[in-house]
C-alpha cells in the first residue's frame, strides 16, 4: 500500500476518515461473517474522494449525520512520510493551496444556479424530519419583544428626563464642561441601552422555547442589539441631532453628521440581517455550499454599500473630503476582502481587516479627543490642566487597547497559539515571545510617560504660565505660594521620572531579548560608586540642590542673591539654577556654589528713605506732609495693592553739617518698592515746595568782614582760572 504524501490537507483527512467509518459501519455484518469462515486478515481499504467542496459537503451533511450522535470520525493517523529532501515542501503546499482555491471558486460558481433549489430542499428536509418553524409566529414574537424593548426605552427616557435637561442646560465653553457633558451623555446612553436590552432579551429569556425556534429568535434579537449599540454610538460620537456643536465628539458639521449616521445604521442593519439570515438557514439545514454562496453575496452587498458611502464623500467642497486615492485604495481593499471571505482565506481576510480598521479607529479617537479638549478654549486653571492630562491618558489607553486587540486577532488568524508561544522553547517561539514583550513594554512605557508629562505640565499651568510666574511672586495667597512651589519642584521631578522610566524600559527590553540584567545592575552599582568618587563636585551640586528645594529656599520667579550672584530664578536642572540679572544677562550657577541664599522676593520688604531739610524746617509740619503723601499713595489704585504699610516719618535720623536728616519708611510687596519710592519722591518735593520746606544742599559761605572783599576777589579769580584750566596761584 502506498503511503500518503507528506503534506495532506486537513479537510481531506477528515473526509477520508468519515468515509472510512461509514464504509466500515455498513460492512460490519459482512466483516463478522467473514471472521467466522476465514482466518483474521487485515482489511485495507483505499478511498479516493475528490478534494473539492462537493465531497466535503457530502460527507458532512449526508453521511456523517447518519452515524448517530455518538459516532465520531476517527482522527487520521499522522503521516510517517519523511519530508522531501529537495526542499520542495513549501512550493508543494503553495501549489495545493492554489488548486484548492480554484476548486472552491469553481464549486461556488457551479452552485449559484442551484441556490434556490438547495434552500427549498433544506426546508423540505427540515419539515420532513418533524421540525416546525412557524415563520409568522417567529416574526410576531420578534415584533413583540422589540415592542417590549421600545417600551422600556421610552420608560428609560422618561426616568432620565432630569439628566437630559441638565445636559441641555450645561455650558460647553471649556474642556472640563465638554468632558462633563460627554460623561453624562455616555451614562444616559448606557442606561437607555441597558433598559432596552432588559425589555427585549430579558423578556425573551423568561419563556421556554423549542431549540430551533429559540436559536432563530435569538439571532433576530441579536440584530436588534447590534442596531441599539450602533444608534447609541452614533448619537454620542456623531450626534446628528445635537442641539449644540459641542455635543458632538467628532469635529464635523451637522449635514455631514446626518450623512455618516445614516451610513452607519444602514451598514450595521444590512450586516446584522445578513448574518441572522445565514444563521437561520444553517439551523434549518440548508446545504453548506448554498449558505456560503448566499453569505458571499450578502457580504458583497455590504461591501458595495461601504464603497458607495466612501465615493459619495470624494472631493466634496463643503466638507473635509476623502481623496480619490484613498477611495481607490479602500475600494480595492473591500474587493480583496470579499474574495478572501468567499474563498475562505481567513489569514488574508482578518489581516486586511485589521489594517483597514485599526488606523481608522485610532484616527477617530485622536480627532474626538482633540475636539473635546481643543486648545482654543483652554484656561490656566488646574481643572482644565487635569482634563488635558486625562485626555492624553484616554487617547493613549485606547490606542494600546486597539494595538493589543489587533495583535490578538492577527495571532489567531495566522494560527499562532499565544499559550504555546509563552511556553515554547524553540527559536521561533522565543523570538515571538521577546518581540511581544518588547512591544508591550514600549506601549506601557509610552503610556506612563505621557500620563506623567501631562499631569506635570497640567499642574505647571501650560505654556501661558511661562510669562505669568512674575505675577505669582507678588501674589502672597496660600494658593499662589503652592502653585509657585509646584512650578519649582515639578520640572525636576519630571526630568527624574523621565530618566527612571527610560532606564527601566531599557532594562526590561534587554531582559526580553534574553540578556541577563543582573550583572548589568551590579556593574552599574560599581560604576556608580566610581563615578561618585570621581565626580564629587557633581554629586555635591545635585545633593545641595535637593536640600535647597526641600528647604524652599527659592522658587521660580523669585529674586535672590547668593554671594556675587543675583537675579531672578528662571529655571532649574539637576545640578544648577539659572539667574536672570535685572539688566538682562543670565547666569548658570551650580547649587554647590550658592552658599547662603538671600531671598528678596518673600512676603514683604521695608523700604527706608532718607531726606535732608534745612535747619529752619518745621519738623511737625514735615511729619504731617509725609503722612499726607503716604495716604495719597495708599489711595492710588496703581500702588494700593502693593502697599502693606503706608509711608510715614520715623523722626530725625541725624543732625548734619548743613541738613537735618529725616528717616521715612514704608512696607510694600517685594519688588514693588522701587516704583513706589520714585512716586513718593515726586510727591514729597511738590508738597514741600507748596509748604515752604526746602531740601538742604551743601553751600560755601564767604564772610564780608575785614579783608572780606580781598578774599571774595581771590575766590572769584580762582574760580575763573579753574574754569579756564589754568593753575591756581600759590
* β-bridge mates for residue 648, sequence order: 665
φ, ψ at 606 (rounded to 5°): -100, 120
- Please give the Cα distance from 274 to 251 (Å, whole number): 32
Lookup: cell for 270: 444590512
pLDDT tens-place string over residues 473-495: 445 555 666 666 667 677 777 88
pLDDT at 262 over 80: yes
Q: Is the pLDDT of residue 634 over 90?
A: no
Domains and CATH numbers, the chain: 10-79 (no CATH), 135-377 (no CATH), 378-526 (no CATH), 605-690 (3.30.70.100)
Distance CA 286, CA 281 (A): 6
CA 612, CA 655: separation in Å to the nearest integer? 9
- Give the Cα separation of 128 and 581 in Å (integer): 99
Residues 184/166, Cβ–Cβ less than 8 Å = yes
Q: Is the pLDDT of residue 191 over 50?
A: yes
Q: Is 293 helix (H, G, I), strand (E, B) or coil?
A: helix
Q: Which residue has the cell 522658587?
A: 555
Q: Are 217 and 142 in contact (CB under 8 A)?
A: yes
Confidence at 264, pLDDT banded by 50, 70, 90: very high
- Does residue 668 come out as left (phi exceeding 0), alpha (psi in the -120 to 50 range) or beta? beta
Helix (H) or strand (E) holding 215: helix 211-233
CA 645 to centroid of chain Cα atoms: 51
Predicted pLDDT at 471: 47
Q: What is the pLDDT of residue 129?
A: 61
Q: What is the pLDDT of residues 269-301, one digit of tens each?
A: 999 999 988 988 888 888 888 888 999 999 999
What pLDDT is recorded for position 317? 63
Query: What is the average pLDDT value for the chain, to the nearest integer?
Result: 75
Neighbours of 366 (CB within 10 A): 13
Report the alpha-carbon distance of residue 392 to residue 35 in Å, rounded: 78
- pLDDT tens by residue, 332-390: 999 999 999 988 888 889 999 999 999 888 888 888 888 887 755 555 444 566 666 67
Angle (nearest 5°) at CA 180 between 177 and 183: 150
pTM of the predicted model, to two decimals? 0.58
List pLDDT tens digits, range 168-182.
Answer: 887 777 777 787 888
Compute the residue count for the chain.
730
| H helices, E strands: number in the chain | 23, 8
pLDDT at 198: 85
Q: Is 154 left (phi over 0), alpha (psi -120 to 50) or beta?
A: alpha
420 vs 240, higher pLDDT: 240
What is the rounded average pLDDT of the residues 713-725? 60
Q: How far, in Å, CA of 255 to CA of 233, rounded?
A: 18
How far apart are alpha carbons 632 and 421 in whole angstroms?
A: 83
pLDDT in tens, 521-561: 777 777 667 666 666 777 777 778 778 877 778 778 788 88
Amino acid at each position: 500500500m502506498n503511503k500518503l504524501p507528506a503534506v495532506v490537507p486537513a479537510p481531506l483527512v477528515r473526509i477520508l476518515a468519515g468515509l472510512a467509518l461509514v464504509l466500515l459501519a455498513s460492512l460490519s455484518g459482512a466483516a463478522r461473517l467473514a471472521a467466522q469462515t476465514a482466518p483474521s486478515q487485515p482489511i485495507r481499504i483505499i478511498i479516493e474522494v475528490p478534494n473539492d467542496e462537493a465531497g466535503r459537503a457530502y460527507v458532512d451533511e449526508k453521511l456523517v449525520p447518519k452515524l448517530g450522535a455518538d459516532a465520531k470520525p476517527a482522527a487520521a493517523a499522522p503521516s510517517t512520510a519523511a519530508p522531501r529532501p529537495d526542499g520542495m515542501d513549501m512550493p508543494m503546499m503553495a501549489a495545493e493551496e492554489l488548486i484548492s482555491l480554484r476548486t472552491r471558486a469553481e464549486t461556488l460558481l457551479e452552485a449559484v444556479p442551484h441556490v434556490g433549489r438547495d434552500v427549498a430542499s433544506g426546508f423540505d428536509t427540515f419539515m420532513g424530519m418533524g421540525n416546525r418553524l412557524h415563520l409568522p409566529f417567529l416574526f410576531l414574537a420578534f415584533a413583540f419583544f422589540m415592542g417590549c424593548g421600545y417600551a422600556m426605552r421610552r420608560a428609560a427616557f422618561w426616568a432620565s428626563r432630569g439628566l437630559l435637561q441638565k445636559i441641555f442646560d450645561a455650558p460647553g465653553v471649556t474642556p472640563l464642561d465638554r468632558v462633563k457633558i460627554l460623561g453624562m451623555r455616555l451614562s444616559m446612553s448606557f442606561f437607555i441601552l441597558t433598559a432596552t436590552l432588559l425589555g427585549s432579551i430579558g423578556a425573551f429569556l423568561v419563556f421556554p422555547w423549542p431549540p430551533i425556534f429559540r436559536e432563530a429568535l435569538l439571532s433576530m434579537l441579536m440584530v436588534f442589539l447590534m442596531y441599539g449599540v450602533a444608534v447609541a454610538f452614533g448619537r454620542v460620537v456623531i450626534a446628528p441631532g445635537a442641539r449644540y456643536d459641542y455635543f458632538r465628539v467628532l469635529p464635523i458639521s451637522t449635514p455631514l453628521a446626518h450623512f455618516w449616521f445614516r451610513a452607519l445604521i444602514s451598514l450595521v442593519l444590512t450586516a446584522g440581517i445578513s448574518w441572522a439570515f445565514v444563521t437561520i438557514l444553517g439551523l434549518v439545514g440548508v446545504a453548506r455550499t448554498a449558505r456560503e454562496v448566499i453569505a458571499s453575496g450578502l457580504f458583497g452587498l455590504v461591501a458595495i454599500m461601504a464603497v458607495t458611502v466612501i465615493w459619495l464623500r470624494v472631493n466634496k467642497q463643503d466638507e473635509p473630503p476623502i481623496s480619490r486615492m484613498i477611495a481607490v485604495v479602500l475600494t480595492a481593499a473591500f474587493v480583496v476582502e470579499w474574495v478572501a471571505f468567499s474563498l475562505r482565506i481567513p489569514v488574508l481576510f482578518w489581516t486586511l481587516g485589521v489594517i483597514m480598521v485599526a488606523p481608522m479607529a485610532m484616527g477617530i479617537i485622536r480627532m474626538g479627543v482633540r475636539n473635546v479638549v481643543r486648545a482654543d478654549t483652554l484656561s490656566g486653571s488646574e481643572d482644565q490642566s487635569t482634563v488635558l492630562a486625562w485626555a492624553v491618558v484616554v487617547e493613549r489607553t485606547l490606542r494600546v487597547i486597539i494595538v493589543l486587540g489587533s495583535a490578538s486577532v492577527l495571532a489567531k488568524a495566522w494560527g499562532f497559539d499565544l499559550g504555546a508561544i509563552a511556553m515554547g522553547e524553540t527559536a521561533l517561539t522565543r523570538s515571538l515571545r521577546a518581540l511581544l514583550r518588547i512591544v508591550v513594554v514600549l506601549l506601557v512605557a509610552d503610556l506612563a510617560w505621557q500620563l506623567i508629562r501631562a499631569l506635570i505640565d497640567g499642574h505647571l499651568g501650560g505654556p501661558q504660565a511661562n510669562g505669568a510666574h512674575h505675577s505669582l511672586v507678588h501674589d502672597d495667597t496660600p494658593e499662589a505660594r503652592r502653585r509657585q512651589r509646584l512650578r519649582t519642584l515639578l520640572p525636576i521631578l519630571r526630568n527624574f521620572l523621565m530618566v527612571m522610566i527610560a532606564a527601566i524600559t531599557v532594562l526590561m527590553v534587554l531582559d526580553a531579548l534574553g540578556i541577563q540584567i543582573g550583572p548589568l545592575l551590579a556593574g552599574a552599582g560599581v560604576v556608580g560608586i566610581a563615578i561618585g568618587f570621581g565626580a564629587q563636585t557633581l554629586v555635591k551640586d545635585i545633593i545641595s540642590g535637593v536640600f535647597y528645594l526641600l528647604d524652599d529656599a527659592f522658587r521660580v520667579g523669585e529674586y535672590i542673591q547668593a554671594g556675587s550672584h543675583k537675579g531672578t530664578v528662571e529655571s532649574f536642572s539637576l545640578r544648577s539654577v539659572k539667574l536672570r540679572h535685572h539688566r538682562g544677562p543670565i547666569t548658570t550657577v551650580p547649587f554647590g556654589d550658592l552658599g547662603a541664599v538671600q531671598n528678596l522676593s518673600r512676603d514683604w520688604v521695608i523700604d527706608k528713605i532718607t531726606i535732608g531739610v534745612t535747619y529752619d524746617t518745621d519738623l511737625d509740619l514735615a511729619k504731617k506732609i509725609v503722612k499726607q503723601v503716604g495716604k495719597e499713595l495708599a489711595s492710588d489704585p496703581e500702588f494700593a495693592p502693593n502697599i502693606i504699610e503706608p509711608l510715614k516719618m520715623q523722626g530725625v535720623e541725624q543732625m548734619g553739617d548743613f541738613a537735618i536728616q529725616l528717616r521715612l519708611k514704608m512696607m510694600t510687596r517685594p519688588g514693588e518698592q522701587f516704583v513706589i519710592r520714585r512716586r513718593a519722591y515726586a510727591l514729597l518735593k511738590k508738597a514741600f515746595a507748596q509748604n515752604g520746606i526746602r531740601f538742604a544742599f551743601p553751600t560755601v559761605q564767604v564772610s564780608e568782614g575785614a579783608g572780606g572783599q580781598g578774599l571774595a576777589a581771590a575766590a572769584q579769580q580762582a574760580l575763573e582760572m579753574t574754569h579756564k584750566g589754568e593753575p591756581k596761584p600759590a
